[in-house]
Amino acid sequence: MATTDQEVNELIKREYEHGFVTDIESDTFEPGLNEDVIARLSGIKKEPEWMLEWRLKAYRRWLEMDEPDWAHVGYPKIDYNSISYYSAPKRKEDMPQSLDEVDPELLKTYEKLGIPLHEREKLAGVAVDAVFDSVSVATTFKEPLAKAGVIFCSISEAIQDYPELVKKYLGSVVPAGDNFFAGLNSAVFSDGTFVYVPKGVRCPMELSTYFRINAANTGQFERTLIIAEDSSYVSYLEGCTAPMRDENQLHAAVVELVALDDAQIKYSTVQNWYPGDEEGKGGIFNFVTKRGAAIGKNSKISWTQVETGSAVTWKYPSCILRGENSVGEFYSVALTNNYQQADTGTKMIHLGKNTSSTIISKGISAGKSSNAYRGLVKFGPGAEGARNFTQCDSLLIGDRCGAHTFPYIESKNKSAIVEHEATTSKVSDEQMFLCRQRGIDPEQAVSMIVNGFCKEVFKELPMEFAVEAGKLLEVSLEGSVG
Amino acid sequence: MLSIKNLHASVEGKEILKGINLEIKAGEVHAIMGPNGSGKSTLSQVLAGNEAFEVTEGEITLNGENLLELETEERAREGIFLAFQYPVEIPGVSNLQFLRTAVNAMRQHKGQDEMNAAEFMKLAKEISKQVDLDPAFLKRGVNEGFSGGEKKRNEIMQALLLQPKLAILDETDSGLDIDALKVVSDGVNALRAEDRAILMVTHYQRLLNHIVPDYVHVLAGGKIIKSGGRELALELEERGYGWLGIKDEETADSSVN
């Protein structure tokens, strides 16, 4: 009934709670992009010559590329010369040597976001790399990790300290010419996280990066590279927030994962970039390329994402299953409200024998938003005995939103098996009435029903973050139906 | 306790209830009987505040308070409980979580502390035994894959947990075999209390062999056409609704008498 829709409408008028701005002095480039800007960026970071060359090559290639227009989203044309490509909090010396040297304003920012960086208040058992605008400002738990042989640092440090590893793997999974946004990122990425887990090591704690955009008119272009050597294991989580601003801001990240024989990488994302206001003004354009290469036999790459933020999302965390018996997984919850648009999904590219993949996608649309699942399952000629299971469920809240499913299947091997299930449902009036008749607030009822819908995905998240994800959903749903 | 005066209600513009008058005192058990389409279920939905139904005239008060001014969840917190005829499924939400959320919403309303997971688990296990439900049900999704009988027992379990002032049972006997009917009836009888009223809505009188009412009302064409004691139900069973000049499949639109 319409009445329930109205109630749900009234439900969610809570504000984005991470929308504050940190008042901090920053070194910020003038807007604009050309070879000089890239050279300056590389210079500030004291990068070796090869890195600059790599960037310039990517830039020249990018100039020849076209922005993709096939996604089910619409947004005003981006003027890439109106964006500032570097912004970093000012600091006296080079890198802070310890957390005591990190600007207290920055520490306060992360505390406010619920990510205390001080070791004494640290998140139990989770190491954090904090990226603020264009730079990594702090990384916790470096020492105990180093003892285990795990390298966990900013990508800028890795370029200085582990150039051979970076040279070998950077761009090996997502080449600079892969797509328009990956090309741009390759040219101008300013920081990000580097993880290396040596042979036979099970990383002793969860690793995480917390991305924060603060400065206005800047883009954030981070680059993450995770390498898991033979028989190693690592679980990594990223979180993202940004201030509320009327202008759209661009976030174009690239994440590359490499899993060798018997290695396992679990990558979880809780994305809560500023989604824009109720009228659809402002918000982050989240155009991200994430891909994992399961190179080794019996390797496994697992993506779990909870996407609640951003004005426009264009994101397809994918797996290239090259190794025999390698496994790819994609668990996704994507929630859109108000005028948010999401076109997200995955690609599972089966190349090796007996490779298998699982896709569980839960799309929730509320308000006037648009939510599309786009997925490709591809079997190469060598993918003997490969199989995929895909389940795409959409939940609609109200009657002014849209849900779309675009599954693509390509098979060059007759022995491959694909199963695909899809459902669309609504938060029904009967469910709402049952909850309310038991004394439960309508708002709490919607959030409980939506959480139930997402259960299969939430159980894939590391424990510490499953609760956070549930709460985030609750906040994002506020005022959800329009 | 509950007072209904000249209640008219419609759904999608069609009038279903055409002037109901009913007084229920604390401690009493009332049964509303009537043929299909007489407005029985509508009455229970209207009392619980389902917004699909529009009250066009009349009043409902609970202990003097105007119920029509209260939202569904506010009525629930004031002590109105509806055991649904067809309880809906909520996939992925565990029964335990659902029940605890409900109990804590009530406790919060009464200014009591919320129950933590361990305390609640203990209470829920005890009560689930009372309605012969395996505590394993607590971990399953709300009504997800429950049989008809399990759903009904789950409803009664909720009533026992929430301890309402007025429990409305909508066709609680439908679809139950004799054993399940016994379990459900025992649960309802356990609810009977000096300070609580029970309103049973039923098509058949067999439920009333197990839960003996103080009063029986016959609803037809959106009005109560006859009221009496327990014996009225027995007479109805013997003589059928035709005895009162109404057909069993009659719609609410056709006139009575």
- Contact (CB<8Å) B88/A428: yes
Q: For residue A461, give the DSSP letter.
A: S
Which of chain A's residues have a Cβ under 8 Å away from the Cβ of B142?
434, 452
Q: Closest Cα to residue B210, out of B191, B236, B235?
A: B191
In this prediction, residue B246 carries a pLDDT of: 76
Residues 6+ apart with CB under 8 A from B63: B1, B165
| Minimal Cβ distance to B106: which of A439, A449, A456 | A439
| Minimal Cβ distance to A437: which of B82, B90, B109 | B82
In this prediction, residue B257 carries a pLDDT of: 33
Can you say how many angstroms the Cα of residue A7 is from the centroid of all Cα atoms in its chain?
32
- Contact (CB<8Å) A440/B97: no
Question: A38 lies in a domain?
Answer: yes
In this prediction, residue A470 carries a pLDDT of: 74
Minimal CA separation from B11 to chain A, in Å = 11
The rounded distance, in Å, linking the Cα atoms of A355 and A213 is 38
The structure tokens listed for B74 are 């506010």
Can you say how many angstroms the Cα of residue A298 is from the centroid of all Cα atoms in its chain?
25
Residues 6+ apart with CB under 8 A from A91: A103
Cα pseudo-dihedral B103, B96, B121, B27, rounded to 10: 40
- Contact (CB<8Å) B81/A437: yes
Q: Provide the domain count of chain A.
A: 1
- pLDDT cut 90: percent of chain B above it: 73
Beta bridge partners of A313: A286, A342
Residue that wins the pLDDT comparison between A457 and B200:
B200
- Contact (CB<8Å) B73/A440: yes
Q: Quick one: average pLDDT of A241-266?
A: 86
Beta bridge partners of B55: B9
| pLDDT level of residue A209 (50, 70, 90 thresholds) | confident
C-alpha R_g of chain A: 22
Q: Quick one: average pLDDT of A426-432?
A: 90
The sheet that has A126-132: what strands, in order across it? A135-139, A126-132, A206-212, A233-241, A264-271, A300-307, A327-336, A356-365, A387-396, A417-426
The rounded distance, in Å, linking the Cα atoms of A49 and A167 is 12
Residue of A nearest to B84 (CA): A434
Q: For residue B137, give the DSSP letter.
A: G
Residue of B nearest to A444 (CA): B101
B149: pLDDT strictly greater than 50: yes
Minimal CA separation from B84 to chain A, in Å = 8
| pLDDT level of residue B127 (50, 70, 90 thresholds) | very high
Using one digit for the tens of pLDDT, what is the confidence trace for B159-191? 999 999 999 999 988 888 888 899 999 999 999
In this prediction, residue A278 carries a pLDDT of: 81
The rounded distance, in Å, linking the Cα atoms of A469 and B151 is 31
Element (H, E) at A404: strand A402-411
In this prediction, residue A460 carries a pLDDT of: 84
Using one digit for the tens of pLDDT, what is the confidence trace for A87-109? 877 764 555 556 666 677 767 76
Which of chain B's residues have a Cβ under 8 Å away from the Cβ of A455?
92
Can you say how many angstroms the Cα of residue B75 is from the centroid of all Cα atoms in its chain?
14
**What homologous superfamily does CATH list for B2-83+147-248?**
P-loop containing nucleotide triphosphate hydrolases (3.40.50.300)
| pLDDT level of residue A382 (50, 70, 90 thresholds) | very high
Chosen from B51, B67, B151 to mutate, greatest number of chain A CBs within 10 A: B51
Q: For residue B203, give the DSSP letter.
A: S
Cα pseudo-dihedral A60, A64, A69, A74, rounded to 10: 60
Q: Quick one: average pLDDT of A215-237?
A: 88
A119: pLDDT strictly greater than 60: no
The rounded distance, in Å, linking the Cα atoms of A9 and A255 is 37
Which of chain B's residues have a Cβ under 8 Å away from the Cβ of A431?
88, 90
- pLDDT cut 90: percent of chain A above it: 44
Angle between helices A442-453 and B95-109 in degrees, nearest 10: 160
Side chain identity, residue B159: A
Minimal CA separation from A441 to chain B, in Å = 7
Within the 112-171 window of chain B, which residues sit less than 8 Å (CB to CB) from chain A? 141-142, 158, 162
Q: Closest Cα to residue B25, out of B49, B61, B58, B76?
A: B61
Beta bridge partners of A444: none
The rounded distance, in Å, linking the Cα atoms of A58 and A51 is 11
Residues 6+ apart with CB under 8 A from A247: A216, A217, A282
The rounded distance, in Å, linking the Cα atoms of A218 and A17 is 21
| Minimal Cβ distance to B73: which of A4, A441, A456 | A441
Residue that wins the pLDDT comparison between B156 and A243:
B156
| pLDDT level of residue A126 (50, 70, 90 thresholds) | low
In this prediction, residue A207 carries a pLDDT of: 86
Q: For residue A445, give the DSSP letter.
A: H
Residues 6+ apart with CB under 8 A from A74: A341
Residue that wins the pLDDT comparison between A417 and A274:
A417
- Contact (CB<8Å) B90/A452: yes
Using one digit for the tens of pLDDT, what is the confidence trace for B3-14? 999 999 999 999
The rounded distance, in Å, linking the Cα atoms of A427 and A247 is 33
Minimal CA separation from B20 to chain A, in Å = 22
In this prediction, residue B142 carries a pLDDT of: 94
Using one digit for the tens of pLDDT, what is the confidence trace for B68-112? 999 999 999 999 999 999 999 999 999 999 999 999 999 999 999
The rounded distance, in Å, linking the Cα atoms of A220 and A134 is 6
B145: pLDDT strictly greater than 70: yes
At A270 the three-state DSSP class reads strand
Question: A458 lies in a domain?
Answer: no
Within the 40-99 window of chain B, which residues sit less than 8 Å (CB to CB) from chain A? 48-52, 71-73, 76-77, 80-82, 84, 87-88, 90-93, 97-98
| pLDDT level of residue B248 (50, 70, 90 thresholds) | low
Element (H, E) at A209: strand A206-212
| Minimal Cβ distance to A455: which of B52, B82, B92 | B92
- Contact (CB<8Å) A430/B88: yes
Using one digit for the tens of pLDDT, what is the confidence trace for A10-53? 434 445 667 677 776 777 888 889 999 999 999 998 999 999 99
The rounded distance, in Å, linking the Cα atoms of B177 and A264 is 53
A357: pLDDT strictly greater than 90: yes
In this prediction, residue B62 carries a pLDDT of: 95
B250: pLDDT strictly greater than 60: no
Using one digit for the tens of pLDDT, what is the confidence trace for B12-37? 999 999 999 999 999 999 999 988 88
Q: Closest Cα to residue A314, out of A378, A253, A257, A223?
A: A253
Question: A43 lies in a domain?
Answer: yes
At B179 the three-state DSSP class reads helix
The structure tokens listed for A413 are 């091997």
A122: pLDDT strictly greater than 90: no
Tell me the average pLDDT of chain B: 90
Residue of B nearest to A454 (CA): B92
Tell me the average pLDDT of chain A: 84
Minimal CA separation from A363 to chain B, in Å = 15
| pLDDT level of residue A353 (50, 70, 90 thresholds) | very high
The rounded distance, in Å, linking the Cα atoms of A85 and A40 is 10
In this prediction, residue A480 carries a pLDDT of: 60
Is A10 touching B (CB cutoff 8 A)? no
- Contact (CB<8Å) A3/B88: no
The sign of the torsion formed by the CA atoms of B163, B164, B166, B172 equals negative
In this prediction, residue B254 carries a pLDDT of: 36
In this prediction, residue A135 carries a pLDDT of: 66
In this prediction, residue A332 carries a pLDDT of: 93
Cα dist from A53 to A48, A49, A184, A220, A221, whole Å: 9, 6, 14, 21, 18
- Token look-up 């883009």 returns A219
Chosen from A333, A440, A459, A473 to mutate, greatest number of chain B CBs within 10 A: A440
- Contact (CB<8Å) A448/B97: yes
Which of chain A's residues have a Cβ under 8 Å away from the Cβ of B52?
1, 3, 429
Question: A351 lies in a domain?
Answer: no
The rounded distance, in Å, linking the Cα atoms of B113 and B109 is 10
Q: How many CA atoms lie within 13 A of B166 on its CB side?
A: 26
E strands, chain B, are 2-11, 14-24, 29-33, 53-62, 65-66, 80-83, 90-94, 141-142, 166-170, 197-202, 215-220, 223-228
- pLDDT cut 70: percent of chain A above it: 83
Range of the domain at A189: 17-315
A261: pLDDT strictly greater than 90: yes
Residue of A nearest to B50 (CA): A433
In this prediction, residue A249 carries a pLDDT of: 80
| Minimal Cβ distance to A437: which of B48, B91, B142 | B48
Which of chain A's residues have a Cβ under 8 Å away from the Cβ of B82?
437
Residues 6+ apart with CB under 8 A from A79: none
Within the 420-459 window of chain A, which residues sit less than 8 Å (CB to CB) from chain B? 428-431, 433-442, 444, 448-449, 451-456
| Minimal Cβ distance to B105: which of A434, A439, A451 | A439
- Strand A248-251 relative to strand A283-294: parallel, antiparallel, unpaired? parallel
In this prediction, residue B37 carries a pLDDT of: 85
Residue A164, Cβ density class (10 Å: 0-12 exposed, 13-18 middle, ≥19 buried): exposed
Count contacts between A and B (CB, < 8 Å).
Answer: 79
A8: pLDDT strictly greater than 60: no
Q: How many CA atoms lie within 13 A of B180 on its CB side?
A: 17
**Contact status, residue A173 vs residue A320, Cβ threshold 8 Å:** yes
B256: pLDDT strictly greater than 70: no
**Contact status, residue A267 vs residue A304, Cβ threshold 8 Å:** yes
Cα dist from B162 to A160, A472, B98, whole Å: 64, 29, 12
What predicted TM-score, i.e. pTM, was given to this entire model? 0.82
Q: Quick one: average pLDDT of A174-198?
A: 93
B251: pLDDT strictly greater than 70: no
Residue that wins the pLDDT comparison between A461 and A245:
A461
Question: A194 lies in a domain?
Answer: yes
Using one digit for the tens of pLDDT, what is the confidence trace for A292-314? 999 999 999 999 998 888 888 88
| pLDDT level of residue A183 (50, 70, 90 thresholds) | very high
Q: Taking every pair of C-alpha atoms in chain B, what is the biggest distance, in angstroms?
A: 57
In this prediction, residue A112 carries a pLDDT of: 66
